[in-house]
């Protein structure tokens, strides 16, 4: 039995939002206000580097998943992010990142190493959070589960999805592939992969190579003109439809999102 | 004044279907049954090689555009296709294609040359059809126009969109780029480009290169796992949403498709 504790609850626009902790790790669960009617699929989300569980990208995706599909959406703070303390190693990695940025050097070696270290801690945390969330009657132990995370959310999510058979569909993107090839090669569930064609930080060839590495029989690459930080809203909508296709229980037809 | 003649009309499921000819070229126009209410955008479609204006891919896209967006959709037979006679040159090119296929040789040089020749004839035919269709009060001379065509539909569509300023959004894919780079480089309107990651006929690098060649500031590449002839239905839906985003008159909100 995991220690899931709800610490706050609010509701608006048909969405119930609950803060929780699992083994002390803080997170947020968004659910349909009409959820008492039965179980619904769950999409786990991972926030980006330097962001946290309440970043507007998380709020936006969660509301679309809840109101568009009737799904649950949940996110936890990554180690050293949001409401979690930074370790001495976190401080050191962040300082090294800031130094590289200030010096005009590539962030790549720092981010790859830093995020791979965070993923080692975060993957078991996500699995424990999933254990706990599946004990809720409105989610259940055998319901469909998806994962979406870009940037740091992919650095954590790729090894997570490779290790976690309960996750049956995933959206990734916007991360250097260096530390992820081996895990990507073990992923066989449907994947939607987002990249920027003109990304000035992550070379196009590296994103194409990571997409190529997924062993999934069903995978889709979405490459949009633009640079690293511009994510078109229609890609958020596309990922919601992706989860609607892959997680909606057979015979149901979620609202088109 | 172009010679647009309607030759047959039927209606079902909220869609009015009219066969027409323009200067003797046969086509089909699909329109909302409630179209008398006002003008609506038009999407021109191009069928694939060896297919024709009534291929199920045309019917499927047209019905989605009409019922999902309230748009018009129109297609004409390519030269030597559908109800149009084959010239001696057409017969020769098709025979050469069949010979290459039977010999296990690459279709590429034959298809590239054959389709480029068809495009030279088809581009002015499409422009004349657009002239004629825009004289209909339910379409109008200054309404938004899009184009969608894969395979031969792209071999015709890329030079068409490069030459035709009335077309302001386009969906392409599934064609060797050899004869298309120069025209792609002149296209600046939003483009959605579909490819198969594992296409056994058109090398991945060639599709990526053609996508890269479009000068459009807004362009999206959708690469799906799979081989040449498997087009996921969600890509058809995606292209309909693409046109809804780019062609719907400002201030209106077409039905989500």
The distance of Cα A113 from the centroid of its chain, to the nearest Å, equals 19
Residue B250: pLDDT band with limits 50, 70, 90: low
Residue B34 has a pLDDT of 82
Residue B239: pLDDT band with limits 50, 70, 90: very high
Cβ of B211 and A218 within 8 Å? Answer: no
Distance from CA of B98 to the nearest CA of A (A): 31
Mean pLDDT over the full length of chain A:
93
Distance from CA of A22 to the nearest CA of B (A): 37
Instruction: Please check whether residue A94 touches B, CB under 8 A.
Output: no
Cα separation, A160 vs A151, in Å, equals 14
Residue B158 has a pLDDT of 98
What is the share, in percent, of chain A residues with pLDDT greater than 90? 88
What is the share, in percent, of chain A residues with pLDDT greater than 70? 93
DSSP string, A158-209: HHHHHH-TTEEEEEEESS-STTTHHHHTT--S-EEEEEETT-SSS-HHHHHH
The distance of Cα A26 from the centroid of its chain, to the nearest Å, equals 15
Based on C-alpha coordinates, what's the Rg of chain B?
A: 17
Instruction: Please check whether residue A256 touches B, CB under 8 A.
Output: yes
Which site among B69, B190, B209, B225 would you substitute to test the A interface, given the most A Cβ atoms closer than 10 Å to its Cβ?
B225
Instruction: Please check whether residue A211 touches B, CB under 8 A.
Output: yes
- pTM for the predicted model, two decimal places: 0.91
Do residues B47 and B152 touch, judged by C-beta distance below 8 A? Answer: yes
Question: Which tens digits make up the pLDDT trace of B82-128?
Answer: 999 999 999 999 999 999 999 999 999 999 999 999 999 999 999 99
Which run of H or of E encompasses B111? helix B108-133
Distance from CA of B121 to the nearest CA of A (A): 32
Cα separation, B108 vs A251, in Å, equals 43
For the record, the structure tokens of A221 come out as 């690459």
For chain B, the first-to-last Cα distance in angstroms comes to 35
Which of B218, B222, B225 is opposite residue A222, by nearest beta carbon? B222
DSSP state of A81: S
Higher pLDDT, B230 or B73: B73
Residue B235: pLDDT band with limits 50, 70, 90: very high
Largest CA distance in chain B: 56
Do residues B228 and B107 touch, judged by C-beta distance below 8 A? Answer: no
Residue A256: pLDDT band with limits 50, 70, 90: very low
- Range of weakest confidence among A142-146, B186-190, B229-233: B229-233
Residue A38 has a pLDDT of 79
Q: Pairing state of beta strands A42-46 and A72-76?
A: parallel
Residue B1 has a pLDDT of 52
List, in order, residues 6 or more apart from B68 with CB less than 8 Å away. Answer: B240, B244, B254, B255, B256, B257
Residue A35: pLDDT band with limits 50, 70, 90: low
Instruction: Please check whether residue A121 touches B, CB under 8 A.
Output: no
DSSP state of A36: G
Domain residue limits, chain A? 4-247
Higher pLDDT, B252 or B130: B130
Do residues B192 and B157 touch, judged by C-beta distance below 8 A? Answer: no
Q: Which residues on chain B are in Cβ contact (under 8 Å) with A224?
A: 218-221
Residue A257 has a pLDDT of 38
pLDDT of residue A113 exceeding 60, the answer is yes
Query: For the residues B214-235, what does the mean pLDDT come to?
Result: 87
Mean pLDDT comparison of A26-40, A124-138, A242-256, highest-scoring range: A124-138
For chain A, the first-to-last Cα distance in angstroms comes to 35
Size of interface A-B (CB pairs under 8 A): 48
| Angle of CA points A201, A203, A209, to nearest 5° | 135
Q: Which residues on chain B are in Cβ contact (under 8 Å) with A245?
A: 234
Cα separation, A88 vs A92, in Å, equals 6
Residue B257: pLDDT band with limits 50, 70, 90: very low
Cα separation, A22 vs B78, in Å, equals 62
Question: Which tens digits make up the pLDDT trace of A165-194?
Answer: 999 999 999 999 999 999 999 999 999 999
* Homologous superfamily of domain range A4-247: Alpha/Beta hydrolase fold, catalytic domain (3.40.50.1820)
Residue B256 has a pLDDT of 42
pLDDT of residue B230 exceeding 70, the answer is no
Question: Which tens digits make up the pLDDT trace of A207-224?
Answer: 999 999 999 999 999 999
What is the share, in percent, of chain B residues with pLDDT greater than 90? 88
DSSP H helices in chain A:
56-69, 88-102, 108-133, 152-163, 181-184, 204-213, 233-247
């Amino acid at each position: 039995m995991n220690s899931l504790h709800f610490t706050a609850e609010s509701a608006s626009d048909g969405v119930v939002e609950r803060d929780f902790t699992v083994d002390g790790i803080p997170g947020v669960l968004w659910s349909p206000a009409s959820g008492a009617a039965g179980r619904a699929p769950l999409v786990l989300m991972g926030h980006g580097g330097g962001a946290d569980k309440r970043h507007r990208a998380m709020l936006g995706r969660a509301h679309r998943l809840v109101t568009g599909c009737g799904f649950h959406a949940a996110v936890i703070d990554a180690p050293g992010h949001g409401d979690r303390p930074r370790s001495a190693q976190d401080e050191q990695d962040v300082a090294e990142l800031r130094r590289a940025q200030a010096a005009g050097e590539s962030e790549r070696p720092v981010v790859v190493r830093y995020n791979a270290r965070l993923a080692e801690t975060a993957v078991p945390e996500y699995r424990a959070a999933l254990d706990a969330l599946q004990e809720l009657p409105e989610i259940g132990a055998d319901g469909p589960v998806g994962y979406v995370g870009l940037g740091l959310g992919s650095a954590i999510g790729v090894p997570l999805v490779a290790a976690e058979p309960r996750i049956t569909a995933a959206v990734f993107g916007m991360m250097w592939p260096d530390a992820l090839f081996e895990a990507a090669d073990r992923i066989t569930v449907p994947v939607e992969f987002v990249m920027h064609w003109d990304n000035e930080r992550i070379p196009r060839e590296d994103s194409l190579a990571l997409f190529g590495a997924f062993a999934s029989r069903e995978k889709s690459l979405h490459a949009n003109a633009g640079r690293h930080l511009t994510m078109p809203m229609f890609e958020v909508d596309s990922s919601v439809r992706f989860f609607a296709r892959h997680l909606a229980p057979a015979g149901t037809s979620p609202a088109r999102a």
